[in-house]
Structure 1
Amino acid sequence: MKVYSKKTAAAIALVAGAALALSGCSTSNGSGSEETTKPAGDTGALKIGTLLPQTGTLAHLIYGPQAAVKLALSEINEAGGVLGKDVELVVEGNEHDASDPTIINKSVDDIIKANPSFVLGAMGTGNSNAAMPRLTEAGILMGSPSNTGIGMSGINDLYFRTIASDIIQGRALGNLVLQDGNTTVAMLAQNNDYGIGLRDNFQETLEGAGAELVYGAKGSGEEFPEGQTTFTSEVTAALSKKPDAIAIVSYEEAKQIIPELAAQGFDLSKLYLVDGNTVPYPEFDAGLLENAQGTTPGRASEGTFLEDLVAADSSATKSTNFAPESYDAVMLVALAAQKAGSTDPSAIRDNLAAVSGADGGDTCSTFKDCLALLEDGKDIHYEGQAGGGPLTDKNEPSSALIGIYRYDDTNTPNPVGEIEG
């Protein structure tokens, strides 16, 4: 069990590396977990868990969400907690490990045993779908900061997300490529819901403006499987089409694709990345990715928020992708529980849209300020870090920001603008 206060943020930062190594190490109770739900009107401490990628192809994206959870809990508890009690992080599950395909089931066992009201995760759309049936049966609310799969819209009453679907990012990426004057484009996309959904909307946007997706188009069968490690043939085939630009929809596979593109002579300033791979690449030669661009849903982590993330967990210096969305998810759950007067997952779910501003209300951006308004009996509109609009009846943001990033000579992406969709 972990309870964070802002007073301990500096100490947490000092042990961040050890915390990452140990996270999710609770003992599995096997497949015979007793699946229980919280009674309606429960006013006990709000208990939450996480289901994040501690290993596998998504592991490079854990740093932002991990820091955001610690920061959100410290701020909530410093302000007095939920219903007068500290919020507790009671379980940290691992959503994926290529060397152990049973890891997500073991993590779900651990989560059900801990019986939190809410679990942040999973990050991968497929991993959320895998965990959802049993967590829903156990009455546990799920909230993802990163599931952009189109099919996740309204999929389950006990599921919500704080990120826009691939419809919006696909269109934003397409418009970015078009405004740079590219008319023929190749896409290296992985063969899963994430890759296919984003590719389809990207292609639709290109073709609507008279441009063409010359490699990786819908129906071509040119997608690659998640976890692939060599891309010589795919890059050769894509470059044979002589594209003006190339986009990559992947997770850590980009670490192999990018050097192969460079080795075959592609101008990487004409490369476009997405949220799954728009991260720093310090392992590459200096300047390799200079002027390449990427898109990521949500507002960039900057200023005081970025400083607070790093203070909560120093590993946030590696990446803050999905930190705003993770922070907002925890805040919305805490505020919804406070408004409901209950830590029952169904009661929290029934109040999520209201505290996100779906019913109007006074705008507030910190837990302390929102709590004061709720205690005065007022409706609130929590204005989060990610810049998303109030939640819809499909349990997702009604509007969203897509950040645009450009790489510098240290192969680090820097925010240069944003598009609202």
Structure 2
Amino acid sequence: MKIPSLLTLGAITVATALVATGCATRGDTSEGQASVTRTARTSCDTNGVAQGITDSKIKLGMFTPLTGPLAAPGNGALKGFQFALDKVNAAGGVQGRQVEVVAEDDQYDAAVAQQAARRLETSEGVFAFAGGIGTPNFVGVLPFIKEKHIPAVGPYAPSNQVGVMQNPDVYMIWPNFIDEYNVALSWLMKEQKPASISFVQQVGDVGDDALTGIKKALDGSGLTIGTTQTVEPTMTDFSAVAQALKNKNSALVALVAGPVVVGQVIAAMNQIGYKPKLLAQSDITDESFLSEYGKAVEGMTVPTKVAPFASDEPLVKEFVSDYTKTTGAAPTMWNAVGYTQALVTIKALQDAPALTRDCLAFSLESMKDFKTGLIPPVTFGPNSRQGTNAVGVARIEDGKAVQVAPFQAVTGR
């Protein structure tokens, strides 16, 4: 397999410069958060911080849940990330070096993630953070990343706090939950016209952002949320939640939580005979979730961040074919997430004028329309840390996610 546009290791091409150096005026980038407007530059500090770089190796760090409630997504994405590294390393590496990732288990816990990030930075001496799964754990590390100016590439942490210029060292490639739920619910209301809606909300940024997106979609519709039931990642008994939802008897239940929690809430609703229309986050398109809960979620509407594997896109077909041939198993959505995170990281490393943190930031900020095939083209800039903001919509049919609306850029953010 050829990793798209990444394995030519000749002269480094530096994109015509759109990289931040200073600040001028303040503006807004997302949901009313103020940001610094930066001017472009044409160079980077080639003698800057280069820890984790030797003549033969580039060491990256990842903190991600390998145990706990999000262990399956964390391990799946790590496997996809490593798959991409194995391919590029077999083809000669990046700038003559092999790329290694050191993964620390953060258990989907902010405090544990903070400890893991510090170990990666101080004990392991990693060059940059790359990949990783989970919102509260990553958001908990944001102050440390900002303090140390550690580049962090592509975390799957769809919080409205990520992908904004308040965190200039973080390069986001996934739309946030506000956009996910706004796009998916807007489509569902147009197509299915539910008469009432209830909401199951995970406590914290994940749930708050989804709620904001739902309210955006409901604006002007005359509908309001009938009841909101809160859940925690560690909960195991959802009978009371299911009963409260049934008592309200809304035509549509929207859910946002870890995939296991979403599945268990729906199973609890089914057990008491309550089977409304369903809406949940893009994570639900993962094949491992659908293999366990497919019958219970038949007909569910979900936003999509990753192209369905049945896509005609050549790069998607190539990934599915090569992953299956190499590993002996068909890829999951989480494998694709990790693979995509790695592709963006590798591209930035290859295009960096020198292997310093400042030059990696230069390369990332200069990235324009980089195509992985699995997500919309990635573009950053001196005033943009949101590499993509396009959301699709799928419906679960016969245990598979079937795209019903293509990726479309979210406007008016």
With structure 2 as the length reference, what TM-score do the two structures score? Answer: 0.75
Give the SS at the match of 1:51.
strand
Task: Tell me how far 1:281 sits from its aligned partner.
Answer: 4.2
Counterpart-to-counterpart distance in 1, 2:210 and 2:98: 39
The answer to whether 1:175 aligns with 2:164 is no
User: Could you tell me which of 327, 350, 361 is aligned with 1:338?
Assistant: 350
User: Could you tell me which of 97, 100, 109 is aligned with 1:88?
Assistant: 100
Q: Which amino acid aligns with 2:379?
A: P
Deviations 1:316-340 (A, max 9, x none): 64x323x444333322332222222
- Residue matched to 1:247: 254
Give the SS at the match of 1:162.
coil
- Residue matched to 2:306: 298
- Residue matched to 2:198: 186
Task: Tell me how far 1:190 sits from its aligned partner.
Answer: 0.8
- Residue matched to 1:309: 323
Counterpart-to-counterpart distance in 1, 2:252 and 2:179: 20
The answer to whether 1:396 aligns with 2:396 is no
The answer to whether 1:123 aligns with 2:133 is yes
Task: Tell me how far 1:262 sits from its aligned partner.
Answer: 0.4
- Residue matched to 1:160: 171
Deviations 1:7-46 (A, max 9, x none): xxxxxxxxxxxxxxxxxxxxxxxxxxxxx94269987632
Task: Tell me how far 1:300 sits from its aligned partner.
Answer: 2.4
Does the CA contact (< 8 Å) of 2:52 and 2:127 recur in 1? no
Counterpart-to-counterpart distance in 1, 2:107 and 2:341: 21
- Residue matched to 1:234: 241
With structure 1 as the length reference, what TM-score do the two structures score? Answer: 0.74
Deviations 1:266-305 (A, max 9, x none): 225x122212444424445x73332223223232245331
Counterpart-to-counterpart distance in 2, 1:166 and 1:51: 21
- Residue matched to 1:351: 363
The answer to whether 1:61 aligns with 2:102 is no
Is the alpha carbon distance of 1:43 and 1:354 closer, same or farther for their aligned partners in structure 2, counting shifts above 3 Å? Answer: farther
- Residue matched to 1:260: 268
Q: How many matched pairs?
A: 352
- Residue matched to 1:71: 83
Does the CA contact (< 8 Å) of 1:174 and 1:203 recur in 2? no
Residue segments in structure 1 that go unaligned for 5+ positions in a row: 7-35, 217-221, 358-380
Q: Which amino acid aligns with 1:386?
A: I
User: Could you tell me which of 142, 145, 148 is aligned with 1:132?
Assistant: 142
Counterpart-to-counterpart distance in 1, 2:309 and 2:83: 13
Matches within 5 A, 1:36-47: 37-38=49-50, 45-47=57-59
- Residue matched to 2:35: none
Q: Which amino acid aligns with 1:86?
A: Q
Task: Tell me how far 1:175 sits from its aligned partner.
Answer: 1.5
Give the SS at the match of 2:231.
coil
Matches within 5 A, 1:10-25: none
Deviations 1:146-190 (A, max 9, x none): 211112222322211110122320211212320212131111111
Is the alpha carbon distance of 1:121 and 1:130 closer, same or farther for their aligned partners in structure 2, counting shifts above 3 Å? Answer: farther
User: Could you tell me which of 117, 129, 140 is aligned with 1:108?
Assistant: 117
Q: Which amino acid aligns with 2:178?
A: I
Residue segments in structure 2 that go unaligned for 5+ positions in a row: 4-47, 311-316
Give the SS at the match of 2:395.
strand
Mean Cα deviation higher: 170-179 or 324-333:
324-333
Counterpart-to-counterpart distance in 1, 2:133 and 2:108: 13
The answer to whether 1:418 aligns with 2:401 is no
Give the SS at the match of 1:334.
helix
Relative to total residues, which structure has the larger strand share, 1 or 2?
A: 2
The answer to whether 1:51 aligns with 2:63 is yes
Mean Cα deviation higher: 101-110 or 149-158:
101-110
Give the SS at the match of 1:87.
strand
Task: Tell me how far 1:400 sits from its aligned partner.
Answer: 1.8
CA RMSD of aligned residues (A): 3.1
Is the alpha carbon distance of 1:128 and 1:257 closer, same or farther for their aligned partners in structure 2, counting shifts above 3 Å? Answer: same
Counterpart-to-counterpart distance in 2, 1:77 and 1:160: 23
State the identity as a percent: 18
Is the alpha carbon distance of 1:143 and 1:41 closer, same or farther for their aligned partners in structure 2, counting shifts above 3 Å? Answer: closer
Is the alpha carbon distance of 1:315 and 1:191 closer, same or farther for their aligned partners in structure 2, counting shifts above 3 Å? Answer: farther
The answer to whether 1:289 aligns with 2:297 is yes
